[in-house]
Amino acid sequence: MGAEGHADGTVGKALDVLDMVASHGRPVRFSELLTESAFPKATLYRFLQTLTHQGMLAHDPDRGTYSLGVRLVRLAHAAWAQSSLAPIARPYVDELAEKTGETIHLAQMDLGQVLYVDKRNAARPVEMFAQAGKVGPAYCTGVGKAMLAYLPEEALEAALARQSFHRHTEHTLDSPAKLRTELKAIRARGHAFDREEHEPGIICCAVPILSRAGRAIGALSVTSTTARTTLAALEARAGLIKDIAARISAEAESWRFPEQG
Amino acid sequence: MGAEGHADGTVGKALDVLDMVASHGRPVRFSELLTESAFPKATLYRFLQTLTHQGMLAHDPDRGTYSLGVRLVRLAHAAWAQSSLAPIARPYVDELAEKTGETIHLAQMDLGQVLYVDKRNAARPVEMFAQAGKVGPAYCTGVGKAMLAYLPEEALEAALARQSFHRHTEHTLDSPAKLRTELKAIRARGHAFDREEHEPGIICCAVPILSRAGRAIGALSVTSTTARTTLAALEARAGLIKDIAARISAEAESWRFPEQG
DNA sequence: GACAAAGTTTCACATAATGGAACCAAAAGG
DNA sequence: CCTTTTGGTTCCATTATGTGAAACTTTGTC
């Protein structure tokens, strides 16, 4: 029975339908949606009509399928532009990618989760958005820990409460206590590691992007594999990453708060 | 009043609120939204609450501002990957840009408006996303007319009703009648022109990207200025543009519907 | 031509949205 | 320190809106 949870209000239900379509990753038939949703026929039908009429979904009358609509694409651009760090940081991220030749992640914190807002892949030189936009856990990723380390106590508390502490690998820090110890170490040295805590073989070195007030407004990381490099070699890059992060920070500060003394 | 139009249903209204927040491009205060929306205080407030609770918006309690939320970013990401021509068309657009050396636009139709999903600028070689995402009128742009020309009658009707027919320049087609005549000519020759109809000095040649069923799923255009070239010279490129458009179409078709006979 | 499956419309009913007004908190101003 | 204003949140009677079983219309199948 509805593993989901709280779907209160008409708007909430409509958004659930949207999510359902999105989760398929391809055009879906009405009947497919009907079988997997708890909504009665007519209700589901009306939601699909409304969402289509609103441009959030697109209906292909020939094939009788629904897919995500252009209005969402437009919102995608707005969201991208508004997640402020990405457009500002772009040239700096490019620079870091070029200098290291490794995979770069730019992330922001949202409700205890990590939101990747930009990415440069080592293999495929310029790919984007298709990669960005993903969300991930904070407690077991480099960027996540880097940002958690600079959260004010109250916000940290809230964020920790939202972590699953699922043990992805044998190195995963699987309790708030262990994580807090690690966060202290991160603050001491100014950068965070991912020691195969999320995926085996994947390591990274991450640095927070701090506002003037000392809050983490994002994080930047260089990722690689144990097959190709070592944690020590990645740490050698920490200075460079911090430098780039500082420049992004300065740029962001002047952009977001042009008027100040 | 309310220049907008038909905002039917609760869901539609909520989405309008979403759009409103998105359109600001920065975190917005409740009161700002209140002044520019027609909704009464309590109603607007409830929508904001709902959308925030649903993760479509994020509320910053310190500053008391609303911005786009993670769920939206996730949906937007999916929409970009699934429903936008941009990722599929990218290599072909690159090719066209290189071969022509002119500004290229890739657009899709969004409720009677043109949504630019990718762009290559003649001057600055690789700029993107920041530029893309803009919306423009359909009745006075090359890509817009190219797509309108291949809309089924019913959809065309709806789209025409949404055009302002504002006379941007002396060449603007400023009535549905004139536009319909033009659309017929476009269908006859397979490509559309922008004869300085939107901005003086700006001309373009645009081609629709058609699905197998003959529907316009997007449009592709080469833009230049009267200072640098002529309409005739642009038309000489029509064959090339059509070729590229056909290849994008084929790619899109096979991508969206992998299983078919 | 009969049968089934998928999709669309209807309509009596109840839930859920509505918005004016009251309320609260925190600045501004005297 | 007390008043006023501005910005934000909660109440609650009213009614518009959403609801979903069932009937109906395609469209496809044997």
In this complex, the answer to whether residue A29 has its CB under 7 A from any atom of chain D, a nucleic strand, is no
B114 forms beta bridges with B109, B136
Q: Which tens digits make up the pLDDT trace of B178-226?
A: 999 999 999 999 999 999 999 999 999 999 999 877 888 899 999 999 9
Chain B contact for A26 (CB, 8 A cutoff)? yes
Whole-number Å distance between alpha carbons of A217 and A108: 6
Whole-number Å distance between alpha carbons of A216 and A65: 43
| Å from the A42 CA to the D23 C1' | 12
Chain B contact for A232 (CB, 8 A cutoff)? no
pLDDT at B1: 34
Reported as half-sphere exposure (CB side, CA atoms, 13 A), residue B90 has a value of 16
Whole-number Å distance between alpha carbons of B260 and B3: 45
Nucleotides of D under 7 A from a protein CB: 6-11, 17-23
pLDDT at B153: 84
Whole-number Å distance between alpha carbons of A150 and A207: 11
Whole-number Å distance between alpha carbons of B108 and A29: 23
Lowest mean pLDDT among A24-38, A197-211, B127-141: B127-141
Whole-number Å distance between alpha carbons of B240 and B229: 17
Lowest mean pLDDT among A118-132, B81-95, B167-181, B224-238: A118-132
- Do the Cβ atoms of B62 and B182 come closer than 8 Å? no
- B-contacting residues in A 88-127 (Cβ below 8 Å): 110-111, 113, 115, 126
Chain A contact for B58 (CB, 8 A cutoff)? yes
- Do the Cβ atoms of A60 and A75 come closer than 8 Å? no
Chain B contact for A18 (CB, 8 A cutoff)? yes
Nearest residue of A to residue B109, measured between CA atoms: A70
**Among the listed residues B150, B158, B254, the one whose alpha carbon sits nearest the alpha carbon of residue B206:** B150
| Å from the A42 CA to the D21 C1' | 9
Reported as half-sphere exposure (CB side, CA atoms, 13 A), residue A143 has a value of 27
Question: How many CB atoms are closer than 10 A to CB A173?
Answer: 20
Burial of B210 (0-12, 13-18, 19+ CB in 10 A): buried
> Chain A partners of B133 at a C-beta cutoff of 8 Å?
73-74, 76-78, 80-81
pLDDT at A79: 79
Q: Tokens for B14?
A: 């909520």
DSSP 8-state class, residue B64:
T
Facing residue for A68 by CB, picked from B10, B82, B111: B82
Residue A39 has pLDDT above 80, yes or no: yes
Facing residue for B73 by CB, picked from A54, A126, A133: A133
What is the average per-residue pLDDT within B151-168?
89
Query: Quick check: B70 and A110 CB within 8 A?
Result: yes
Give the nucleotide with minimal C1' distance to the Cα of A65.
Answer: C7
What interhelical angle do B86-100 and B238-256 show, nearest 10?
Answer: 160
Residue B128 has pLDDT above 80, yes or no: no
> How far is B133 from chain A, CA to nearest CA, in Å?
5
Whole-number Å distance between alpha carbons of A190 and A140: 17
Name, in order, each residue with C-beta under 8 angstroms of B25's C-beta and a sequence gap of 6 or more.
A78, A81, A82
What interhelical angle do B9-24 and A9-24 show, nearest 10?
Answer: 70
Chain A contact for B158 (CB, 8 A cutoff)? no
Chain A contact for B7 (CB, 8 A cutoff)? no
Q: Walk me through the domains of chain B, giving residue ranges and CATH numbers.
A: 9-74 (1.10.10.10), 84-256 (3.30.450.40)
Question: How many CB atoms are closer than 10 A to CB B164?
Answer: 11
Please compute Rg for chain B using Cα positions: 20
A129 confidence band (pLDDT: 50, 70, 90): very low
Facing residue for B11 by CB, picked from A11, A69, A110: A11
Greatest CA separation found in chain A?
Answer: 61
Q: Is pLDDT larger for residue A195 or for residue B154?
A: A195
Question: How many CB atoms are closer than 10 A to CB B234?
Answer: 24
Q: What angle do CA B34, B131, B141 make, to 5 degrees?
A: 90
pLDDT at A254: 66
- Do the Cβ atoms of B162 and B112 come closer than 8 Å? yes
Query: Quick check: B83 and A14 CB within 8 A?
Result: no
- Do the Cβ atoms of A213 and A104 come closer than 8 Å? no
Query: Quick check: A75 and B68 CB within 8 A?
Result: yes
**For B65, phi and psi rounded to 5 degrees?**
-120, 155
Chain A contact for B22 (CB, 8 A cutoff)? yes
Q: Which tens digits make up the pLDDT trace of A59-81?
A: 888 788 999 998 988 887 887 77
pLDDT at A135: 76
Query: Quick check: B76 and A73 CB within 8 A?
Result: yes
Query: Quick check: B130 and A87 CB within 8 A?
Result: yes
What is the average per-residue pLDDT within B27-37?
92
Query: Quick check: A75 and B83 CB within 8 A?
Result: no
